[in-house]
Structure 1
Amino acid sequence: MYFWNDVHSTWLEAGYQRVDYDQGGDNHGWKLTLSQNIAIGMGPEFRPMLRFYVTGGQVDNEHTAKVNNTKDQQLDSLNVGGMFEAWF
């Protein structure tokens, strides 16, 4: 997280998962999200917040492909969007 001031901040988030199935095969994936955030109110870490983001990632679906009898074992994803986040 980088806080430009009390209103604007930029965040980089990363994630990884791995699922090992008893019947054989495993699925794993990763994602990265970069967001520009605008805090409305009391400071940079408080809500409500308006977030604009881009997320990219990849999932290897070895087990799912076996079950569904498909050849697509790897899926790529790119998402761009905005959201309003509020806590109550």
Structure 2
Amino acid sequence: MIFEILMLICFGAAWPLSIYKSYTSKSVEGKSVAFLFVLLVGYVFGILHKFFYSFDNVIYLYILNFVMVSIDTALYFRSKKYMEKSNSTLDR
């Protein structure tokens, strides 16, 4: 269990910075929505595994990571919409 906790902490450590950069830059450069969706699906499977087979407090780390990736994914779509709107304004 300790290695699972450490893995989730390591994976989760990058998301606050990614969320901040996504929020402030309003750019989708370097982001892969497919990658974000794969991560979300992976966290869902981790949560389901914890819920059905091995319930313990580690589930909260899965949920926290899922929430952070969800926020980053939502910011991706917000930024993409913003960029499309900016580009259409420039085309006029």
Higher strand share: 1
Larger radius of gyration: 1
TM-score by length of 1: 0.26
Larger relative contact order (C-alpha < 8 A, sep ≥ 6)? 2
Higher helix share: 2
TM-score by length of 2: 0.25
